[in-house]
Amino acid sequence: MNAVYINSASCISVQDTLKDNFFQDLTPYQSVQILKVVDPNYKEFIPPAMIRRMSKTVKMSSVASNYALQEAGIEQPDAIIVGTGMGCSQDSEKFLKNVIDNNEEFLTPTFFIQSTHNTVAGQIALGLQCHAYNFTYVNTSSSLEFSFLDAKLQINDGESDNVLVGAADEQTNRTMELYCLTNTIKKEKDLPADYLHSKTDGVIWGEGAAFFVLGKHKTENSYAKLRDIQMINRLDLEEAPSFITGFLAKNDLKHEDIDAVILGFSGDATSDVYYTKAMDAFQNSALLYYKHLSGEFNTASGFSTFMACHILKNQQIPEVMMINLEKKTKVKNILLYNHLAGSDHSLMLLERA
């Protein structure tokens, strides 16, 4: 397949990633169980009457997609593709609460309608009055990667020239309570979290939205070239090196050709062993991690992709992300490796545009 270009990148996260020069102010979080996004002023982008009816995921996505389209200079994308792991959880919880409180009678359909996972892509299309291809992927931690793959196919097949691609997930109180009960979220006694050498299970949970415009042609603002993506649902620990080696070989690359590797260390001792295993083959690459900046969530790879785009464009690696001391004066190829709790492994290869 031919490469496509990432021509804009926008992110709302627990860092203030909408402002200029955010690289200098990245703050690691190790001592709280749950991280909240830095909310923009939604009233600048969304009419107040609509804000009240929107879940946090829809609001974050509306603003992030707006930024992405403006940066790319695109008014109407040829397709809108969104990935999400949990969808609009807040409205789902509200609907279920109404079912219980009202004994399954006299229910208003609003919360149910807005709780569906494709609400985000639908609301963006309504706002733009865009009648083009509109699709949502719900594949846990690979949701963004499947969205990117679809966009790449759309462009390679000549169906689209510019595709708006994004991923978003929000938190809800009840879900966070359940995650604490199941030890998905780290216990307070295990904080502060040691992301790279953790001896305990569980993660610090985050949220966020990241949107990109993928295009057929390189522009003056292009961040990166999206060369390839590969996903696998289940992977034995001993198979991780061959999974990566095979992916690189398919793209005529060797380990030494990769300038930086961004790994999804989350502080969960059981599943982080995949990243530790993968690191061994990249002795001459800059090894980076990011979930101490974003928290773990289904589409956290959106944050890492956003960071990778800025690293390639600025040719600068933030020290707060560095695992080893390998510093690169030029960054051409970046490999991103992510999974969630040991499932849904994904590899993404970006090249400097």
Verify cis geometry, omega within 30 degrees of 0, for the bond prior to 192.
yes
Q: What is the pLDDT of residue 263?
A: 98
Q: Looking at the structure, tell me whether residues 127 and 98 fall in a common domain.
A: yes
Q: Looking at the structure, tell me whether residues 72 and 130 fall in a common domain.
A: yes
Separation between Cα atoms, residue 91 and residue 97, nearest integer Å? 10
Identify the H or E element spanning 57: helix 56-72
Q: Looking at the structure, tell me whether residues 315 and 282 fall in a common domain.
A: yes
CA–CA–CA angle 54, 66, 299 (5° rounding):
70
Alpha-carbon Rg for the chain in angstroms:
20
Contacts of 311 (CB under 8 A, 6+ apart): 260, 317, 318, 331, 334
The stretches of 102-172 forming alpha helices (DSSP H) are 110-114, 119-128, 143-156
Q: Are 99 and 151 in contact (CB under 8 A)?
A: no
Contacts of 194 (CB under 8 A, 6+ apart): 30, 267
Number of independent structural domains in the chain: 2
Choose the final residue of a domain: 194, 215, 236: 215
Q: Looking at the structure, tell me whether residues 54 and 184 fall in a common domain.
A: yes
Give Cα 202 to chain centroid, integer Å: 19
Q: What is the pLDDT of residue 48?
A: 83
Q: Looking at the structure, tell me whether residues 195 and 259 fall in a common domain.
A: no
Identify the three-state secondary structure at position 172.
coil
Choose the final residue of a domain: 177, 198, 215: 215
Q: How far is CA 280 from CA 58, 197, 319, 320, 339, in A?
A: 40, 15, 21, 21, 18
Q: Looking at the structure, tell me whether residues 239 and 196 fall in a common domain.
A: no
End-to-end CA distance of the chain: 17
Residue 198, domain extent? 4-215
Tell me the CATH number at 211.
Answer: 3.40.47.10
Identify the three-state secondary structure at position 76.
coil
Structure token digits, residue 303 = 């944050």
Q: Looking at the structure, tell me whether residues 64 and 180 fall in a common domain.
A: yes
Sort 68 into a burial class: Cβ within 10 Å, 0-12 / 13-18 / 19+: buried
Q: What is the pLDDT of residue 90?
A: 74
Choose the final residue of a domain: 185, 215, 245: 215
Residue numbers in the chain where pLDDT is lower than 50: none
